[in-house]
Amino acid sequence: MKITDNATAQDFAKFIDLQQQFSAKQNLLQQLEVLINRGAQKFAEMHSTEYVVLQEELSRLDADIKALFEKHPEWRGEKKSVATPYGNVEQRTVIELEVPNPAMTVALIKARGQADKEFAAADFLRVEESPNIEALERLDDAALAKLGVNRNKRESITVKPAKLNVAKAVKAAKKPAVKEAA
């Protein structure tokens, strides 16, 4: 590269200087990240026992809450949930398809596709030729049974801690007080 005028030479010198600063700052940042990671590791080691104990206690509390929730369906109401000042417990219905014998199901899907031209077998198969669970979910239980697929239904219960909704709190604080007529 040939630099012909003084202004260009000054700009190039500034360019080199900025690159040097950038590289130096990048190296410092990497060193700082190493220190932060070491500190985080030491902190984690110092609190690992407490962390494990809390995880075990939370697991036990979660199981106890779910057991009481299941024992008292009258608490739930139509929403299948219980809300208290300390959080929510919600029940959700989870439906999953189980394909006990994928090879058999693939063969049955292909056979149906050949026999029924309106049944697009490719929609229910993946390239690696495993059943397409998402597509099969659209079929009714009788059709699934013919393809060797079971629809399993289970209940899922989630325990959630209370959370302060800061946005709502700020919005409520900003609302002017409504004066009642005497």
The whole-number pLDDT of residue 171 equals 66
The whole-number pLDDT of residue 49 equals 92
Instruction: Answer yes or no: are the C-beta atoms of 76 and 66 closer than 8 Å.
Output: no
**Per-domain boundaries in the chain:** 92-161
Instruction: Give pLDDT < 50 ranges for the chain.
Output: 182
Nearest-angstrom CA–CA distance, 92 and 64 = 18
Q: Name the nearest CA neighbour of 133 among 107, 167, 95.
A: 95
Is 0.75 surpassed by the pTM of this model?
Answer: no
The whole-number pLDDT of residue 182 equals 46
| Burial per residue of 24-47, b for 16 or more beta-carbon CB atoms within 10 angstroms, e otherwise | eeeeeeeeeeeeeeeeeeeeeeee
| C-alpha dist (Å) from residue 108 to 119, 136, 150 | 12, 12, 14
Angle, in degrees to the nearest 10, between helices 6-46 and 48-71: 70
The whole-number pLDDT of residue 161 equals 72
